[in-house]
Amino acid sequence: MDKQVTITINGLAYQATVDTTMTLLQFIRDEAGLTGTKSGCENGECGACTVLLNGKPVRSCIILALEADGAEILTVEGIATDGALHPLQQAFIDHSAVQCGFCIPGMLVASKALLGRYPNPSETQVMEALGGHLCRCGGYKAMSEAIQSLKQ
Amino acid sequence: MAFHTVGSNKRKIDGAEKATGATVYTADMRFPNLLHIKVLRSPHAHARILSIDAGAALAMSGVVKIVTGADVPGPFGVAIHDQHPIARDKVRYVGEPVAAVVARTEREAEKAARAIVVDYEILPFVQDPLAAMDPSSPVIHENMMDYKTLPFVRRVGHNTYQHFKVRKGNAEQVMQQADCVVEGDYYFPPAVHVQMEPHCAVAKYGHDGSMIMYATTQAPFVVQTTISELLEIPYGRIQVIAPFLGGGFGGKSDITIEALVACVAKHVPGKFVRLLLSREEMFSGATHGRNIKAHYKLGFDRAGKLLAMIGQCVQASGGNADYAINVLTGTALSGSGPYIVPDLQLDVYGVYTNTQPIGAFRGYGHPEAHLSIERLMDEAARKLNMTPAELRMKNLLQAGEANGIGQVMHASNGNVRECARIITDKLWGQPLPKAKSHCLVGRGMAAYMKTPCMPSNAQSGALIKLNADGSLTLSVGAVDMGQGLHTALSQIAAEALDLPFERVLFKTSVDTFSSPYDWQTVASRSTWGSGNAVLLAAADFKRNLKTEAAKVFATTPDQVAYAKGAVSFNGQEIPLADFATGLRNLDGTAITRPFFGQGNFVAQGVQNPDLDTGQTNAAADWTFGCVGVELEVDTRTGETTVLRLMNAIDAGTIINPVLATEQVAGAMLMALGSATSETIIFDEKTGRVRNDTLVDYKIPGIEDIACQTEVFFVQTPEESGPYGAKGIGEHGCVGTVPAFLNALRDATGLDFHDLPASPDRIITTLKGGEPK
């Protein structure tokens, strides 16, 4: 069954008729053409596909596009504004937290949500925010340090 | 030697692209009229294929083509031609491809794959390496003795396709005279790479007989060669492009899904076809690593001098073994550890089993051998009443001593004793932390040695192109899979050409049409091999530049000076940029010709391994190091917390300390995954992988990192490396597992001989039970 949805991604509204089984991840990558958000497992187990839905981190591979109808989505492509890197992105680069890069889009949006909620997150809060986000390169410590470096 | 760019922590050249989601990985590429492949995989570990009925599936909506083993060539291989892109006649593990469906959408392809009816005659299967060696076990490759092989394959028969012997002196006899003998069985179970990016390949076979492929590969030139041989497409007509990789760890080396995709593409000429593996398929339809059972015996004299070592390693190589066979070479070359072993007898066997094929996995056969040796060194130390460090210090290799394969170490190979000294000081130099209630604390170490383990003719190339703004574009055939190679090579080029780092640009995707040839990006060989090629290219570039500049200056090339991006002679100076578009005479006639800098490197004097004695110059270089672990065990839950994790490594000159540290620390974390949670669980009844999800196969998360991780670099310049550098990507995996288990033994008295030392197994054992 097909249904029409409107999903706002990084400030732009995308309208499409979608199959009711289409995931939000598929909508973002295939309908909106924003391939920054990655598919690592399609089971909600790796965190690579994390986006912010109305400000909250969600695994876009286990949410239907239908469920996101009318929602505001932020993906990795929407973090930098006016052509300038967000301080979080710069911190990830400066702390050498970016290796193969495949988990980074999910890590960055989850970190952004964390800092939005707790501008001075504790180590435990960082661990909770990035828990369940897998990075096989093992860059967790660098990511944690990158986030901590932005404490106000 | 003072450097301006080498040794500094330059930011990764691809950091901003990756941090903004702009980097295009293979699965992010869009193609016109793309068709999708889904693979029907064997549900049986060992079965004969009696018939395949694809009639109903072919009639389904969106289905374009169904390809089975009968439609594709095979067998193929490099060392041993024992695999088919799609199974023919027999399946040898659960997950082996049986048919490939090409359809308009992935979903249509998947639906149709389920509608294919395959009739199997189910055969008994065997998964344990030792059981598979037993003559009573089912034979997996009936025609093994007839397969085409390279000369270094020594088939024994039944399921044993390889036997590599290392022989030095008379270990059996010397062992009898030893004052202290320790021995034991050790098992390094299968491990899965779990790159966050699943395998993906997109190919199109052109009506003109050409093939283009985009793939998640560490080995675009191997893919090119293999496809050429398999499909009889002229080598030059195959273009393989490797964009950024989302992790490799060995799992994207050699050839993986690309053979199947190429074969399928040939059946739908003119169309792009894509195969993207699901996470479950990454467990069942891709290579695994490790899976070696070993028995080692070490004999010492009263003073702790290692007299003799006898080892037997048996790898369960899986349903085919073209890649596993080379991993065995890694085990054989490193199978005596970083020690002086006067009398050595080592037998390394490769055995077919009804499991996923073993392939390269970070460490390449070395962690498996080190597990046995480094656990036994600790046991011997206890027996001899010495500390683990004392016993190792008495036996570690040093310049002038021969290693297990008879290569005499020289100073440039590195200083393992210094590495061990650092770890001893750092680990035991401070008091043992006070254990929390219900907790036990302990410490352990492990020394290690690693060779790149590659063919004697493994080549690397580099090309330097001059741009009109005076910047340079560097291109190599080696892939950046996240390890930071292209950044390190840019630093080497900037150093060699006396330019700011920012003026060196990089062609980041490797393309077999235009990139210089490179064997493959494996074996921690690329900073060393490609780095050498970059140095040669820089020298060639300067030579060509001076030749052209001499024409302008009306002098000879040797009179031209070069510094900081400009040539000069007699007080006149011309910037590099001017040569990009060419200099002219006043009347407009051209003076200078355009030029590249090119460099091609191959190691000199490396020989094929000798399978009867192992005594050959088979390793291009060696790297030494030592790991230390301090951990805490909660006796109520069995959970371990690594308090301090440290590695002292002599990897020569370090090009970029931050990136190098990330490599060593990342590899150690990966090894901690093997030590504490990762293993494949095969279903006893069906032989399938039971834990094929990221929940059931648990890799380390942020909660699992050590409280403190430290990497110490002992920088003995490597004679054969660029600016004295050598590889660093795999080494953190080599000694970490035994160091962890030694620390666990120290804390609890529990003596794990296999993996993982998971909380439930620790609890069971603490309560006096047998770990399951």
Q: Are B141 and B147 in contact, with CB atoms under 8 Å apart?
A: yes
- Measured between alpha carbons, how far is residue B498 from residues B340, B434, B718, B725 in Å? 43, 53, 22, 18
CA B346 to chain centre: 23
Q: Which of B28, B481, B665 sits opposite A138 (nearest CB)?
A: B665
SS (H, E, C) B714-756: CCCCCCCCHHHECCCCCHHHCCHHHHHHHHHHHHHCCCCCECC
Reported confidence tier of residue B344, pLDDT bands at 50, 70, 90: very high
Cis bond before residue B75 (omega within 30° of 0): yes
Q: Are B240 and B224 in contact, with CB atoms under 8 Å apart?
A: yes
| Interface list for A 57-116 with B (CB within 8 A) | 75-77, 79-80, 85, 89-90, 92-94, 96, 98-105, 108
Q: Which of A34, A45, A100 sits opposite B693 (nearest CB)?
A: A45
Question: Using CA of residue B218, residue B219, residue B224, residue B230, what is the dihedral sign?
Answer: negative
How close is the nearest chain A Cα to the Cα of B102, in Å? 20
Phi, psi of B499 (to 5 degrees): -120, 155
Q: What is the pLDDT of residue B22?
A: 97
Q: What is the CATH number of the domain that holds A110?
A: 1.10.150.120
* DSSP state string for B648-665: EEE-BS-S-HHHHHHHHH
3-state helix, strand, coil in chain A (%, to 5): 35, 20, 45
Q: How far apart are CA B9 and CA A140, in angstroms?
A: 19
Q: What is the CATH number of the domain that holds A8?
A: 3.10.20.30
Q: β-strands B640-650, B708-713: how paired?
A: parallel
pLDDT at B532 over 70: yes
> Pick from A34, A61, A78: which residue ends a domain?
A78
| Entry field: residues in chain B | 772
Report the chain A residue with the minimal C-alpha distance to residue B282: A41
Does A71 lie in the same domain as A7?
A: yes
Q: Are B228 and B238 in contact, with CB atoms under 8 Å apart?
A: yes
Q: β-strands B289-300, B272-276: how paired?
A: unpaired
pLDDT in tens, B146-164: 999 999 999 999 999 999 9
By CB neighbour count within 10 A (0-12 exposed, 13-18 middle, 19+ buried), where does A17 fall?
exposed
| CA angle centred on B624, ends B380 and B389, rounded to 5° | 30
Phi, psi of B138 (to 5 degrees): -60, 145
Report the chain A residue with the minimal C-alpha distance to residue B281: A41
> Pick from A48, A78, A108: which residue ends a domain?
A78
| Arithmetic mean of pLDDT over chain A | 97
Q: What is the pLDDT of residue A152?
A: 79
How close is the nearest chain B Cα to the Cα of A122, in Å? 14
Domain, as residue range, for A106: 87-148
pLDDT at B771 over 80: no
How large is the average pLDDT for residues B736-755? Answer: 97
How large is the average pLDDT for residues A88-108? Answer: 98
Reported confidence tier of residue A84, pLDDT bands at 50, 70, 90: very high
Judging contacts by C-beta atoms under 8 Å, the chain A residues touching residue B696 are none
> B19 and A92: CB-CB below 8 Å?
yes
Does A134 lie in the same domain as A99?
A: yes
Q: What is the pLDDT of residue B723?
A: 98
pLDDT in tens, B477-491: 999 999 999 999 999
pLDDT in tens, B595-647: 999 999 999 999 998 889 999 999 999 999 999 999 999 999 999 999 999 99
Phi, psi of B729 (to 5 degrees): -65, -35
Q: Which of B18, B20, B705 sits opposite A141 (nearest CB)?
A: B705
Instruction: Indicate the number of domains in chain A.
Output: 2
pLDDT at B674 over 70: yes
How large is the average pLDDT for residues B291-318? Answer: 98
The domain spans of chain B are 33-123+199-276, 289-454+607-766, 457-602
pLDDT at B561 over 80: yes
Q: β-strands B343-352, B306-318: how paired?
A: parallel
Q: What is the pLDDT of residue A1?
A: 77
Report the chain B residue with the minimal C-alpha distance to residue A144: B702
Cβ-based neighbours of B55, under 8 Å, separated by 6 or more:
none
Q: How far apart are CA B327 and CA B490, in angstroms?
A: 31
Tokens linked to B24: 């295009």
Judging contacts by C-beta atoms under 8 Å, the chain B residues touching residue A133 are 701-702
Q: Which of B12, B666, B694 sits opposite A138 (nearest CB)?
A: B666
- Report the residue of A61, A94, A99 to disrupt the B interface, i.e. the one with the largest count of B CBs within 10 Å: A99
- Report the residue of B8, B10, B12, B18 to disrupt the A interface, i.e. the one with the largest count of A CBs within 10 Å: B18
CATH fold of B457-602 reads: Aldehyde Oxidoreductase; domain 4 (3.30.365)
Does A91 lie in the same domain as A72?
A: no
Tokens linked to A98: 């970016």
Report the chain B residue with the minimal C-alpha distance to residue A36: B21
What is the ipTM for the molecules in this complex?
Answer: 0.98
How close is the nearest chain B Cα to the Cα of A69, in Å? 23
Which residues make beta-bridge pairs with B629? B444, B645
Q: What is the pLDDT of residue B772?
A: 63
How large is the average pLDDT for residues A119-123? Answer: 95
* DSSP state string for B294-332: EEEEEEE-TT--EEEEEEEEEEEEES--TTHHHHHHHHH
Does A73 lie in the same domain as A6?
A: yes
Question: Using CA of residue B24, residue B30, residue B31, residue B34, what is the dihedral sign?
Answer: positive
Judging contacts by C-beta atoms under 8 Å, the chain B residues touching residue A36 are 20-22
Judging contacts by C-beta atoms under 8 Å, the chain B residues touching residue A46 are 196, 279, 694
Does A140 lie in the same domain as A94?
A: yes
Q: How far apart are CA B333 and CA B342, in angstroms?
A: 15
Report the chain B residue with the minimal C-alpha distance to residue A21: B107
3-class SS at B546?
helix
| Entry field: residues in chain A | 152
How close is the nearest chain B Cα to the Cα of A70, in Å? 24
- Report the residue of A19, A136, A147 to disrupt the B interface, i.e. the one with the largest count of B CBs within 10 Å: A136
Number of CB pairs < 8 Å for A and B? 158
pLDDT in tens, B199-224: 999 999 999 999 999 999 999 999 99
Q: Are B409 and B339 in contact, with CB atoms under 8 Å apart?
A: no
Tokens linked to B709: 């991780």
> A99 and B27: CB-CB below 8 Å?
no
Judging contacts by C-beta atoms under 8 Å, the chain B residues touching residue A143 are 702
Q: Which of B279, B667, B668 sits opposite A42 (nearest CB)?
A: B279
Report the chain B residue with the minimal C-alpha distance to residue A39: B197
> A100 and B197: CB-CB below 8 Å?
yes
Judging contacts by C-beta atoms under 8 Å, the chain A residues touching residue B30 are 33
Question: Using CA of residue B651, residue B654, residue B656, residue B661, what is the dihedral sign?
Answer: positive
Judging contacts by C-beta atoms under 8 Å, the chain A residues touching residue B246 are 38, 100-102
Does A102 lie in the same domain as A50?
A: no
> B694 and A77: CB-CB below 8 Å?
no
How close is the nearest chain A Cα to the Cα of B749, in Å? 30
Assigned CATH for B289-454+607-766: 3.30.365.10
> B20 and A101: CB-CB below 8 Å?
no
How large is the average pLDDT for residues B716-726? Answer: 97
> B22 and A36: CB-CB below 8 Å?
yes
Q: How far apart are CA B364 and CA B385, in angstroms?
A: 33
Assigned CATH for B33-123+199-276: 3.90.1170.50
| Arithmetic mean of pLDDT over chain B | 97
Reported confidence tier of residue B498, pLDDT bands at 50, 70, 90: very high
Q: How far apart are CA A127 and CA A121, in angstroms?
A: 10
> Pick from A56, A78, A100: which residue ends a domain?
A78
Which H or E run includes B171?
Answer: helix B171-176
Which H or E run includes A113?
Answer: helix A104-117
> A140 and B659: CB-CB below 8 Å?
no
> A138 and B702: CB-CB below 8 Å?
no
Does A61 lie in the same domain as A21?
A: yes
Cβ-based neighbours of B142, under 8 Å, separated by 6 or more:
none
Q: Which of B248, B665, B701 sits opposite A132 (nearest CB)?
A: B701
pTM of the model: 0.98
- Report the residue of B277, B663, B702, B711 to disrupt the A interface, i.e. the one with the largest count of A CBs within 10 Å: B702
Q: What is the pLDDT of residue B116?
A: 98
How close is the nearest chain A Cα to the Cα of B444, in Å? 22
Q: β-strands B459-466, B596-602: how paired?
A: antiparallel
Q: Which of A34, A39, A93 sits opposite B19 (nearest CB)?
A: A93
Q: How far apart are CA B715 and CA B649, in angstroms?
A: 8
How close is the nearest chain B Cα to the Cα of A59, in Å? 15
- Give the sheet arrangement for strand B472-476, strand by strand: B504-506, B472-476, B459-466, B596-602
Q: Which of A93, A100, A108 sits opposite B16 (nearest CB)?
A: A93
How close is the nearest chain B Cα to the Cα of A147, in Å? 13
